[in-house]
Amino acid sequence: MAGLSGHELRCTLISAFFGDSAFANVASQVKGMRVAADDIADAFAALWSANRLFSGTAARFPAEPAFDGLGLPMHIWY
């Protein structure tokens, strides 16, 4: 995937998981609504992560989270 722009790489990953026309289908549905392409890609990333959480295949980074001043864990699920 070398040589691809960030947007092209994200679209390639979206297509691999959600199907070849997924990004274009969403983009056509929000056309004229002032939704940026990176916002669509971000929504797919959130959906991918939610699916992994639901299916029990998600991972946490870092594996052992740090905690903030309120004692809340600071980590990212993906």
- Reply yes or no on whether the pLDDT at 1 is more than 80: no
pLDDT at residue 2 in the model: 73
Residue 50's pLDDT band (cuts 50, 70, 90): very high
Summary mean pLDDT of the chain = 93
Question: Per-domain residue ranges for the chain?
Answer: 6-62+71-77
pLDDT at residue 60 in the model: 94
Model confidence pLDDT, tens digit, residues 17-35? 999 999 999 999 999 999 9
Record the pTM. Answer: 0.79
pLDDT at residue 9 in the model: 92
Residue 28: alpha-carbon gap to chain centroid: 19
